[in-house]
Amino acid sequence: MKVAIEELQAYLLDCYREGGADQSLFMKLVEEIGEAAEILNKKAGRKAADREDLPSQLGNELADVIHYTAAIAALNGLNLNDFILSKDREASIRYHHRTNLEQFILDQRASGSAP
């Protein structure tokens, strides 16, 4: 199953509407970023790692980062989809990318190679 950003935000708004203060969600977001950083340090050999499934752990922590980011956006009435496309459009010009995200997606869909 694939999840659209708008669907995730609607779900998280429903989950946190009654008591998910965005400040406390932000603290959770920072915590999850720290956990992702720790795993990346282990992958790079800067921290000791026992027989851990680092790719799986990293995926879980990044999912948490997305979760709290989308929840904060939802509680503040922000459409992340629009912000992601807009920011990427600006960055693609600034950093001279070959294409931008919106055009990339349109090209992928037109060629039939979209995931």
Encode the chain in three state secondary structure: CCCCHHHHHHHHHHHHCCCCCHHHHHHHHHHHHHHHHHHHHHHCCCCCCCCCCHHHHHHHHHHHHHHHHHHHHHHCCCCHHHHHHHHHHHHHHHCCCCCCHHHHHHHHHHHCCCC
Task: Flag whether pLDDT at 114 surpasses 80.
Answer: no
Q: What is the pTM of this model?
A: 0.91
Delimiting residues of CATH 1.10.287.1080 domain(s) in the chain: 1-78
The correct answer on CATH 3.40.50.300 for the domain covering 1-78 is: no
- 80: closest CA among 101, 57, 51? 101
Mean pLDDT, residues 18-22: 81
Task: Determine what percent of the chain is predicted with pLDDT higher than 90.
Answer: 88
pLDDT digits (tens, 9 = 90+) for 50-79: 888 999 999 999 999 999 999 999 999 999
Residue 19: per-residue pLDDT = 76
Residue 51: per-residue pLDDT = 87
CB 13 within 8 A of CB 76: no
**Residue 22: which pLDDT band, with cuts at 50, 70 and 90?**
confident
Residue 53: per-residue pLDDT = 96
